[in-house]
Amino acid sequence: MTQSRRTFISASAAATVGLATAPAAGQTPAQSARPVFDVPPTHVAVAGSGDVFPVRRIYCVGRNFAEAGVATGREPPFFFQKPTDAIQYVPAGSVGENPYPSLTKNYHYEVELVCALGSGGTNISVANALRHVFGYAVGLDMTRRDLQRTLGDEKKPWEVGKSFDRSAPIGPIHRSDIIGHFPNGAISLSVNGALKQEARLEQMIWSVAQLVSKLSEAFELKAGDLIYCGTPDNVGPVVKGDRIVCRIDRLPDLSVRIV
Ligand code: MN
């Protein structure tokens, strides 16, 4: 083999190796690749520790409480997502400042139990579902109700009505291995001291375990996923200056002021 022939072979071998290690679409880039800028992670404090819960996805459940006076059938639960950075973490004992968002004239509260997953999977059985739960928090599914309704009526995605910045206030996550699970208990919300929403968690049409199981049929659930489990009847509007206090038995209050 001549020198030039050998050089050609080794050059083409290197090119082949280069092709094989170049990141293809959807693959992880080489370890040496560096982000061109930092995107801050989304964290929620874990109560009673210096730890934080890193948020991967935020799933929300629609219509999971029977509405007063309406004989709601047990339709399958439906789900939507909020972007991870829609989280607004509010420490226990403090008041979060939640900005009245653009584009709406009907900004609504929805108090919800939030389930935080410590592991996941697909096709999780109801019997195994609670093993994947890391803990629970009180959350608010804030909603541009006018946009949500209009978009829904027009059969368009309601993204702008539901999945906007800071639309997901949340309190600290309490570990289920310490506090247990939430098959029952009172859930309520007041605005400026006046009770607006009041129900019991046992009125949820789909339990936490059933929601985890159903969701896992559609998505591969993973550690870091949050599930906003749906709100009771009597959602309503707030204006700038209003103070919302959300309450679920055994969890600290979640308080926000609309600014
Ligand atoms: Mn909701």
Annotated domain spans of the chain: 1-34, 42-258
| 60 CA to centre of ligand 1 in angstroms | 6
Do residues 174 and 53 lie in contact, with contact meaning Cβ atoms separated by under 8 Å? no
Contacts of residue 125, Cβ cutoff 8 Å, sequence gap at least 6: 213
Do residues 44 and 55 lie in contact, with contact meaning Cβ atoms separated by under 8 Å? yes
| 215 CA to centre of ligand 1 in angstroms | 15
**DSSP H/E element including 24:** none
| 1 CA to centre of ligand 1 in angstroms | 73
| 104 CA to centre of ligand 1 in angstroms | 17
The alpha-helical segments, DSSP class H, found in the chain are: 3-21, 126-129, 145-153, 159-162, 176-179, 208-218
| 49 CA to centre of ligand 1 in angstroms | 29
What's the pLDDT at 209? 98
What beta strand segments (E) does the chain contain?
43-45, 52-54, 58-62, 78-82, 87-89, 95-98, 107-109, 111-117, 133-140, 143-144, 168-170, 174-175, 186-191, 194-200, 226-228, 236-238, 243-248, 254-258
CATH for 42-258 (3.30.1330.50, 3.90.850.10, 3.65.10.10, 3.30.70.141): 3.90.850.10
| 179 CA to centre of ligand 1 in angstroms | 24
Cβ-count burial of 71 within 10 angstroms (0-12 exposed, 13-18 middle, 19+ buried)?
Answer: exposed
| 33 CA to centre of ligand 1 in angstroms | 39
Predicted structure pTM score: 0.87
Mean pLDDT by 10 residues, the chain (259 residues): 44 44 62 92 97 98 77 79 98 98 98 98 98 98 96 94 98 98 97 98 96 98 98 97 98 98
| 98 CA to centre of ligand 1 in angstroms | 17
What's the pLDDT at 25? 60
Instruction: Characterize the bridge pairing of strands 95-98 and 254-258.
Output: parallel
Residue for token pair 């639309």: 167
Contacts of residue 31, Cβ cutoff 8 Å, sequence gap at least 6: none
Do residues 248 and 185 lie in contact, with contact meaning Cβ atoms separated by under 8 Å? yes
What's the pLDDT at 73? 62
| 58 CA to centre of ligand 1 in angstroms | 12
For residue 21, the tally of other CB atoms under 10 A from its CB is 8
| 32 CA to centre of ligand 1 in angstroms | 42
Phi, psi of 145 (to 5 degrees): -65, -40
